[in-house]
Every structure is written in C-alpha cells, then in structure tokens.
Amino acid sequence: MNLLTRCVFMFVLLTPSMLAKTIDCHKQCKCSSMQSNKHEAICRGRDLHYIPLFPENIYNVRMIRTNLTIDKNGFDNLTYIILKKFELYDNLISYIHPNAFTNLTFLATLNISNENRLNVDVLKKLVFFPSKKLEHLIFEHSNWSYLPLDMFSKFSRNKVTNLRIMGNALSSIKCQTFSDLNSLFFLILSENFIQDIDMTGIPSTVIRLVLNDNMLSTIPNMCVNRHDGKGIKSLLRNLSVLDLNGNSISRIQEKSLSCLPKLKKLLINGNPISRIHSNIFMNNPMLCLVQLSKIGYSLKKIDDFAFNSSSLSSLMMQETNFHFDQGNYNPKTIFSLSQNLTSLYLDHSYLPRTEIKLQQMFLPLKKLKVLSLSSTSLTFLPKNIFPNFQSLEVLSLTANRFAGWNDGHSVFGNMTFLRKLYLSNNLIKIINATSFPLDVLNSLEELDLTVNPFACTCDQLWFTKWIKTKKVKLIRYPEYYRCRQPPELDNVELKKYAESEMQCPPWNPLYSMAIVLSCSGLSLVTFITIGLKCQTNIKNYIYLWRVKYNRKKGYFPLTNADDFEYHAFVVYCDADRNWVHRTFLPKIEQDEGIKLCIHHRDFEVGESITANINKYLEKSWKVVVILSNEFAKSEWCQWEVDVVQERRRRYGKDVFLLIMLKTIDSKHMTNQLRALLDSAPSLRYQSWVGEDLFWVAAIETLRKPLEQVTTALL
Ligand SMILES: *[C@@H]1O[C@H](CO)[C@@H](O)[C@H](O)[C@H]1NC(C)=O
Ligand SMILES: *[C@@H]1O[C@H](CO)[C@@H](O)[C@H](O)[C@H]1NC(C)=O
Ligand SMILES: *[C@@H]1O[C@H](CO)[C@@H](O)[C@H](O)[C@H]1NC(C)=O
Ligand SMILES: *[C@@H]1O[C@H](CO)[C@@H](O)[C@H](O)[C@H]1NC(C)=O
Ligand SMILES: *[C@@H]1O[C@H](CO)[C@@H](O)[C@H](O)[C@H]1NC(C)=O
Ligand SMILES: *[C@@H]1O[C@H](CO)[C@@H](O)[C@H](O)[C@H]1NC(C)=O
Ligand SMILES: *[C@@H]1O[C@H](CO)[C@@H](O)[C@H](O)[C@H]1NC(C)=O
Ligand SMILES: *[C@@H]1O[C@H](CO)[C@@H](O)[C@H](O)[C@H]1NC(C)=O
Ligand SMILES: *[C@@H]1O[C@H](CO)[C@@H](O)[C@H](O)[C@H]1NC(C)=O
Ligand SMILES: *[C@@H]1O[C@H](CO)[C@@H](O)[C@H](O)[C@H]1NC(C)=O
C-alpha cells in the first residue's frame, strides 16, 4: 500500500466522526446526530446549573435531574435554536423568572414534571410569547394542591389545545381557571384527588374531558341555567369523550349524563356503582361506546330500560360480578331498547341459569358482532340463541363450566359470519363431528380450545383427524391442548396422541357392527366356497387315508400283481375314451410303469367282445372302472359292471379302483351302479388343485395288495 492510498483510506474512515465533532453538545448532554431526525438533546446531572448552548439542529430539549435556578436570562441559550418542545423533569427548580420564557417564540410543547419545589404561584406569573404555536401544556407530578383562578389568564393569546395537569394533588377544581384557554380541546386532570369539580366557565370547545383516578362521587353536572332563566343549556356542547374511570361514583341516574348532546364515549370503569337507573343515556343521542367495567361487587340493581339507546353500539360490562341469575334486573327489558348494539362484553358476571332467561336477555340484540361471555358461570351452552346472531363475528365463552352440547346445529347453527370462537378453559372432553356445523367450523379464522380436559380416547378420533386437515387457526396449538384422560395419558399433548398410531375402531359403533358383520359374513362365504371347492379333495383324502391305513393285520397277501399279465383291466365307456387315453394311460403306464389292459388297444380282433372281456379280465389283477354320466347311460357298460362285480365278490373291494370322472346325476343312477358304488369307495377325478392327491390315491389303490377275504363275505 503506498502512502497516497493509505491517506485516502484514512480520510474515508474519519469523515463521519469528524462531522460529529462539529456538533457542539455540552458534555452533560446527549444530542442526537445531525443526520437523525430526532432533533433531541437530553441533559442530566445535579452539577449542571444552567441551560447550555445546543447545536442548531436541536428542536427538543429535555433537562432531567439537573440543578437549575432560572433568572431573567436563564433560557437565553435556548433562543439560539428553534426550540419546539421543552421538558423539565426533576431539576430542583424553585424559581423561574417571569420573563424567562418570553423570547422562546417557537415553543409548542412545555412539559414540567416532578418539580416539587416549583410553586404554582411562581408559575402563574410566567409570561409566554403570544404564539399560537404553544398548544400543549403539561404539568405532571409536581404536588400542586390547588389551581389559582388566574392561573392561565396570560394564555388567552396562545392557542392551547391540550392541557394536562396530571398526578398532582388537586382536590377541588373550578373550571373558571381554564376559561381563558379558548381553544382547549383536551382537558386532562387525571390522578389527582378531585372530589368536586365546578364545570362553570369551562371552555365549550372541550371535546375530551379526562377525570380518571380522582375521588368524584357523582358525575359532574354539565348543565347551566340559561341567562334568560328559561331552562338549562350545555356547558360542553361538543364533548365527545368523558373519562370518569376510577372514581367513587355510586349511581348513574337519568339526569347524570344530561347536557352532553355530542357524547360518543363514556368511560366509567372502576366506580363502585350500585345502581343503574332507567334511561341513563336518554340525553346522549350520539353515544356509541360505554365502558362500565370493574365495578367490584357493588352493582346490585339495573333498572328496566337502563340501556335504552338507539345509538349505543358497544357496551362493556366486564368484571361487574353482576348477578344476572337473580331478580335484580328484568331480562326482558335490559337490552330490549339497545338494538344497535354490535359489541357486548359481560365477562365476569353471573349469567341466568335458564335458557328462557338467556333468550329473553339476548334475543333483541340482532346486530351483535362481538359477544364476550367469559367467566359467566355457564354450565351449559344455550340452544337457539347464538344462531339468532347471524352477523356475529367473535364469540368468547372462555372460562365457563360447560362440558359438551352435542347438538352443534342448535347451538352454533347459521353462524356463517363467525370468525373467532374462544372456548378455552372449560370442561370440554371430546369434540364430535356434530359439535359444530361444518360450514360454521370451516369459515372460522380462529378457534381457541386451549386448557380443556381433553380425553385421549378413540372417541376423540373425529377431532384428531380434523386437526390434521384443518385450515382454521387453532390458538396456541399444540402446547395448550393436553390429555387429561385416560390417567396414563394425563398431561400428554393431544397432538402427540393424535399422531400416535391409534388403534381405534371406526368412530361410529354402527359402522363397527356393520364391519364385524360383513367380515364374518365374508369369511363364512369364503369358508363355504372353499368347502365346496375342496369337497372332492376332502373325499379323496379320506379315500387315500382308508387305502393306506385300513389294512387288516394278520392277513396275508392273496395274490400278487406279478402273477398276472396286466396290472389292471380298465372299464370305461366310449365317451370317456379321450380322458383315458390322453390322461389316465400316460400317467399310470408311462410315469408309474403299471401295465393296463385297454380294450381299444389290447383286445384281440375277431373274437367277440364278451369273450375278450372274460379273457382279459382273467389276465388282469385289478379292475379300474371309469364312471360318468355317459357310462351310466350306456347299457353295454352296465353289463361290464355286472361282470366286474363278480371279481369283487371273489377278491374283495380292494380289487376295484372306482374313478368318478364326472359326478353322475341322480336321474342316471341305476341299481347296478348304486350297488357298485356301495360295494367299494370311489375316487373322484379332480383337475388342477387336488390332482396330485387324486393320482397318489389312484396309484396307491392300484398297488395295494389284495387280502384274503373270509368266506362269509363271499
Ligand atoms: C450558555 O451556554 C454556555 C455554554 O454552553 C454557558 O457557559 C453559559 O453560561 C450559558 N448561558 C446561560 C445564560 O445560561
Ligand atoms: C443545587 O444547587 C444549589 C446551589 O445552586 C446547592 O445549594 C444545592 O446543594 C444543589 N443541590 C444538589 C442536590 O446538588
Ligand atoms: C428578548 O429579546 C429581546 C430582543 O431581542 C431582548 O431585548 C430581551 O432582553 C429578551 N428578553 C429576555 C428575557 O431575554
Ligand atoms: C412529560 O415529561 C415526563 C418526564 O420526561 C414524561 O414522563 C411524560 O411522559 C411527559 N408527558 C407528556 C404528555 O409528554
Ligand atoms: C406535597 O405538598 C404537601 C403540602 O401541600 C407536602 O406536605 C408534601 O410533603 C409534598 N410532597 C412532596 C413529595 O413534595
Ligand atoms: C363544536 O364543533 C363544531 C364542529 O365540530 C364547531 O363548528 C363548533 O364551533 C363547536 N362548538 C364549540 C362551542 O366549540
Ligand atoms: C327510550 O328512550 C327514548 C328517548 O331516547 C324515549 O323516548 C323512550 O320513552 C324511552 N323508552 C322507554 C321505554 O323508556
Ligand atoms: C347504529 O350503529 C351504527 C354503527 O355501528 C351507526 O352507523 C348507526 O348510526 C347507529 N344507529 C343509530 C340509530 O344511531
Ligand atoms: C361429544 O359426544 C360425547 C358423547 O356423546 C359427549 O359426552 C360430549 O359432551 C360431546 N362433546 C361435545 C363438545 O358436545
Ligand atoms: C337457521 O336459519 C334458517 C333460515 O333462516 C332457519 O329456518 C333455522 O331455524 C335456523 N337455524 C337455527 C338453529 O336457528
């Protein structure tokens, strides 16, 4: 690297920090860089006694925990920058010269907080530059216990829109104090100890009045008598938001909210309200949101038509612990004139225990989009109520005590606009195919079934299958879906169970019955078919067994095949000639070497057939008879049967090999044949399966020695 490139390299590296050095920020301050658009300087430290000079890009200055005494020129250094926002937090300030602020011409926001030593009477003397830019005055946590009536008298030429005196110690307010703030929109007096507030003199421009966390025991009176003595008029004609959260208000009466014609939002949470009277919103035709939550246990009575309002669209009554299950309200009238309600929150209360009262209460609310009934002690899900809310989009039923509902159609039917359904923390064990109508279930975006005591048994099969195919978002699945049953699966994730190889019968008992029945039917049919198919083989088996093991002991062989020219004489009819010559002969003669006498081949030409038969029968040791329908029909063959029967009488049944080539129909059965079949067992010819068995039995029979027969049998 030569010197030149090194220098260029260093220059490039140094450039940003050199630029930063041009900002002249006091060592006890942090100034945002030129490039950032925060334009903020923050100074800290008790040893800082003055306001230093800031770089010109700084618009916002925050002095935090310094130690300032501000004389006439105390803020001079601030006149060199375009100061828009000035914040003083805990700087031990006890004095500010009245003219200190006069040359801060761009100031828009002044925030003085935690300056406990700064007396209100010092502050009220301050002279501000009469700029319309000064809009936000914030005085927080400075232990002010009162506001002088002329406190803001010097601000009439400014355009203060936002006054915030929060977290002080004010106990009584006369709104005359604010009367010179003729552009005031937001008046915030939160977190004081205000017990009474006289609204007279309040700028009528105020649209938001925030009085939360004070000690008011009644809703401030916003009405004033007309000058002409004819009736009353509103002090706050444009008031849109009234925040009275966290006070000590115990009653809301019909007149409580009078003279607020533009009121849209009423926040009155956390007040010990004991009774809500009729028609409390009668004078608030623009009212759309009411928050009446966190009442504790004090709410004891709600009068008829209390919420009579055609404009009210959102009513939050959470944590009221109100007993809707008792007689302190009228279920028929409570919401009957609140037909524009789209959101209703009644969480943490006690809903009626009967379906009828629930219906009376909810049926007027045809436009509901959000209904929240968490922790309302529901032990069952009512029928035909939710389907009535055809535009309902969100339904929360968490932390109740119902286990099941079975008839999904009457509980959730028709709710095709439903997108979010929350059912966590109940006692649901099993989700069935019928628990939700499928169109409703599939149009959901979110379903929450967390923390229910799921049963991980085969009854859950439908749900575990649905989970795998679902498109709906199951909130916090799988961590919060756990089995409680059976005991051995306690605390196992439902997902793990669903993914395990569950050995479950089909979910419908009827199906399982049908399957068992059809299985047994099928096996029966198979069994019968096999039985029928194998009948011949079975018979042949028995035949073979007899041939093999039915030898009488102690008898000696009477004759021997070697004594004869032919091993066997074959009797068959012409129709079966094909089989005898093509199948029987090759197998017995060629494969087994047993010599057979066949009349077509072996008979001597010229001799009569009867003579031939007699002659060759004598030359043969055994007789094979091939039986078939054709055989039965042939008279000639019948005659041969008579002849061979004579042999049986002499040598016993072992002399025969009776082969039933085809089963003989009963109509062709003759007496001779029957006598023959009775005299000796027959072997059935079986092609394909069982053919081997046939041949083994046939050959075994042919080879079986003839035994002496007792004369008694002759
Ligand atoms: C202005 O700032 C400079 C240095 O930052 C300081 O020395 C001087 O005392 C300041 N002036 C006043 C009036 O506070
Ligand atoms: C603040 O400054 C005054 C003198 O201006 C001094 O007497 C006092 O001790 C300082 N306070 C603290 C907490 O440094
Ligand atoms: C405000 O500025 C004017 C003129 O620039 C000057 O005469 C006056 O002394 C300043 N006032 C204060 C309190 O600095
Ligand atoms: C006023 O300043 C304090 C201290 O920095 C801050 O906590 C508070 O939020 C500010 N108030 C407003 C309304 O900006
Ligand atoms: C607030 O003011 C009261 C008197 O009005 C005083 O007794 C109390 O000590 C002050 N509290 C603080 C934190 O300065
Ligand atoms: C009330 O608001 C309307 C418009 O919103 C405005 O024209 C009217 O001047 C306001 N009234 C008062 C007393 O500020
Ligand atoms: C409901 O309020 C309207 C005015 O908003 C009133 O005219 C009507 O009488 C009230 N209904 C009942 C039953 O009180
Ligand atoms: C009912 O509420 C809707 C908004 O939810 C609003 O637009 C409508 O004006 C209200 N009806 C009445 C009579 O105030
Ligand atoms: C599903 O069916 C079973 C048996 O009929 C029943 O015990 C359970 O409560 C049902 N589940 C639901 C969510 O209704
Ligand atoms: C669903 O709506 C149809 C037609 O609007 C109605 O006949 C049926 O009774 C409703 N079902 C339930 C459960 O309310």
Q: Average pLDDT, stretch 65-76? A: 92
pLDDT digits (tens, 9 = 90+) for 8-36: 444 444 444 444 445 478 999 999 887 78
DSSP single-letter state for residue 334: T
CB atoms within 10 A of CB 506: 13
Neighbours of 494 (CB within 10 A): 24
270: which 2 tokens?
């956390």
List the single range of 111-125, 270-284, 414-428, 510-524 with lowest mean pLDDT: 510-524
Pairing of strands 109-113, 136-140: parallel
Residues 600-625 have a mean pLDDT of 83
Is 282 close to ligand 7, i.e. is its CB under 6 Å away? yes
The pTM score is 0.72
Nearest-atom number in ligand 1 for the CA of 73 is 13
310 alpha carbon – ligand 7 mean position (Å):
9
The 10 Å CB-count burial string (b at 16+, else e) for 508-529 is: eeeeeeeeeeeeeeeeeeeeee
Burial (Cβ within 10 Å: 0-12, 13-18, ≥19) of residue 181:
buried
Looking at every residue in the chain, the average pLDDT score rounds to 87
If one counts every other C-beta atom within 10 angstroms of the C-beta of residue 703, the result is 13
Q: How far is the CA of 79 from the centre of ligand 1 (A)?
A: 12
Say if ligand 2 is within 6 A of residue 117 CB. Answer: no
Ligand nearest to the CA of 233: 6
C-alpha 143 to ligand 5 mean position (Å):
6
* C-beta of 205 in contact with ligand 6 (< 6 A): yes
pLDDT tens per residue across span 198-226: 999 999 999 999 999 999 999 999 999 88
Q: Among 286, 312, 313, name the best residue to mutate to test ligand 8's pocket (greatest count of ligand atoms within 8 A of Cβ).
A: 313
Q: What is the DSSP string of 305-323?
A: TTT--SS--EEE-TT---B
- Residue at 578: amino acid letter: N
With a Cβ cut-off of 6 Å, ligand 10 is lined by 384, 387, 409-410, 413-414
**pLDDT beyond 90 at 147:** yes
Distance 51 CA to ligand 1 centre (A): 6
Check pocket membership of 193 for ligand 5, CB cut-off 6 A: no
Q: Which atom of ligand 2 is nearest the CA belonging to 47?
A: 14
Q: In the sheet that 596-597 helps form, which strands lie side by side, from edge to edge?
A: 596-597, 566-571, 620-627, 656-660, 682-684
Report how far residue 180's alpha carbon sits from residue 361's, in angstroms, rounded to the nearest whole number: 49
Ligand 8 atom with minimal separation from the 342 CA = 5
Ligand 5 pocket: which of 115, 116, 171, 172 to mutate (most atoms within 8 A of CB): 116
**Secondary structure (3-state) at 668:** helix
Which residue is listed with tokens 């096999």? 530
Q: Which atom of ligand 3 is nearest to the CA of 99?
A: 13
Q: What is the 3-state secondary structure (H, E, C) of 1-44?
A: CCHHHHHHHHHHHHHHHHHHHCCCCCCCEEECCCCCCCCEEEEE
Atom 10 of ligand 5: nearest residue by CA position: 143
Averaged pLDDT, 64-88:
93
For the chain, counts of helices (H) and of strands (E): 16, 35
- Band (702; pLDDT cuts 50, 70, 90): confident
Which contiguous run of DSSP H or E holds residue 316?
strand 314-316
Q: What is the pLDDT of residues 403-436, one digit of tens each?
A: 999 889 999 999 999 999 999 999 999 999 999 9
Atom number in ligand 2 closest to CA 46: 14
Residue 506: band (very low, low, confident or very high) from pLDDT cuts 50, 70, 90: low
What is the pLDDT confidence band of residue 254, given thresholds at 50, 70 and 90? confident
* Ligand with smallest separation from the Cα of 65: 2
The token duo for 535 is: 């009948």
Q: Which ligand is nearest to the CA of 235?
A: 6
Find the 463 Cα to ligand 3 centroid distance in Å.
Answer: 79
Q: How far away, in angstroms, is 404 Cα from ligand 3 center?
A: 79
DSSP 338-401: -TT--EEE--SSB--SSHHHHHHHHTT-TT-SEEE-TTS--SSPPSSSGGG-TT--EEE--S--
For a substitution probing ligand 2, which of 92, 93, 94 has the most ligand atoms within 8 Å of its CB?
92
Rounded distance from Cα 158 to ligand 6 centre (Å):
19
Return the pLDDT at 9: 44
**Which residue has 């506001």 as its token pair?**
147
pLDDT higher than threshold 90 for residue 151: yes
Q: Please report which helix (H) or strand (E) contains residue 684, including its range.
A: strand 682-684
pLDDT of residue 86: 96
Neighbour-count burial for 398-420, b at 16+ CB within 10 Å, e otherwise? bbbebeebeebebbbbbbeebbb
Q: Please report, as a single letter, which amino acid is at residue 387.
A: P
For residue 111, the 8-state DSSP code is E
Q: List the beta strands (DSSP E) in 458-545.
A: 473-474, 483-485
Which value, in Å, is the radius of gyration of the alpha carbons in the chain?
Answer: 55
**Residue-by-residue DSSP string for 131-196:** -TT--EEEEESS------TTTTGGGTTS---EEEEESS---EEEGGGGTT-TT--EEE--SS---E
Q: Residue 284: CB partners within 8 Å, gap ≥ 6?
A: 257, 260, 261, 263, 266, 309, 311
**DSSP letter at 323?**
B
CB atoms within 10 A of CB 368: 23
- CA atoms of 45 and 459, how far apart (whole Å): 70
* Mean pLDDT on 327-352: 95
Q: What residues does ligand 4 touch, defined as CB less than 6 Å away?
A: 87, 89, 111, 113, 138, 140, 164
* Ligand 5 atom 8, closest CA: 143
Nearest CA to ligand 3 atom 5: 103
Measured from the CB, is residue 119 less than 6 Å from ligand 6? no
| pLDDT confidence bin for 501, thresholds 50/70/90 | low
Ligand 6 atom at minimal distance to the Cα of residue 205: 14
